[in-house]
Structure 1
């Protein structure tokens, strides 16, 4: 039980120190008013390549109503476009606009610089250990989500 408490505490500290709760991260990161949730949506749209709204909502573990509001917000910012699926006119597909791709490129650069700065004080072995540990943790989260039928942790 002590290990579990320790992991929980370390995760809390990680989120705080990495800046995931930082209200000013948009200005530092990409210069845009993009919330953490919107950043995840943009990332998933790019990763999936023209996914449906339902696909992205499910992947992020969001209900479709909440997701739809967020999608409209980033669409209004000109970062995402909706298109009707040629296969099913009831389905809206999402894609990044040129502006959305530029924002994602700035976010990528910022995040890579942050990670490089964090890793700078680590040995190669420590870096590899962190990377492998994150892979193991993400895999365990995915398995637990499947077992519990929880979409938010996939």
Structure 2
């Protein structure tokens, strides 16, 4: 496949996944941006991580990331507390409202993916998942672009 066609395929995939939308989802009457959605997901997944851990995972500089955290605190989705062993470190956790919003987004994404996969047979599903896993592994090991620790 030619590089230009491959790029076009990824451009289309990005648009169809809604990754260019200002808000990726609405949940609980709130609009949540793609970045905010990723933060909520990682805070839940990592269970009480530090601000720096999440910024590193998302490959975001700490200044930009701090603004995102402040907006999530104002939305009452995330809370920030000092680490008990080192007060210079702030620990993040989801509020009750944040957990509900995260679960709603999770359900919306699962519904969307299930709808897509429902049109495929078992072999096609396994092929797509195996291919995405392989692509993700190779991207993670690439020295060229967009590397973030996972």
Q: 1:22 maps to which residue?
A: 21
Aligned mates of 1:21, 1:150 — CA distance in 2: 17
CA distance in 2 between counterparts of 1:125 and 1:77 reads 43
Query: Which secondary structure state, in structure 2, belongs to the residue aligned with residue 106 of structure 1?
Result: helix
Gaps of 5+ in 1: none
Does residue 14 of structure 2 align to residue 5 of structure 1? no
- Structure 1 residue 21: Cα displacement: 2.0
Q: Please report the TM-score for the alignment, with normalisation by the length of structure 1.
A: 0.88
Residue 80 (structure 2) pairs with residue 82 (structure 1): yes
Cα RMSD for the two superposed structures = 2.0
Q: Distance in 1 between matches of 2:41 and 2:97?
A: 14
- Deviation string, structure 1 residues 8-66 (Cα, Å, up to 9, x no partner): 22111011112222345423x55322111110111111111100001100110100000
How many matched pairs?
150
Gaps of 5+ in 2: none
Q: Which residue does the alignment assign to 2:101? A: 103
Query: Is the 1:61–1:152 Cα contact (8 Å) retained in structure 2?
Result: yes
Query: By how many angstroms is 1:148 displaced?
Result: 5.4
Question: Bigger shift: 71-80 or 7-16?
Answer: 7-16
Equivalent residue for 1:39, pick from 37, 47, 54? 37
Match of 1:59 in 2: 57
1:102-121 to 2 correspondences below 5 Å: 102-121=100-119
Matched-pair contact (CA < 8 Å) for 1:59–1:151: no
DSSP 3-state at the match of 1:34: strand
Q: Please state which structure has a larger fraction of its residues in strand.
A: 2
Q: What TM-score does the superposition give when structure 2 sets the normalisation length?
A: 0.91
Q: Using a 3 Å threshold, how does the CA distance of structure 1 residues 24 and 76 change in structure 2: closer, same or farther?
A: closer
- SS of 2:141's equivalent in the other structure is helix
CA distance in 2, matches of 1:105, 1:136: 27
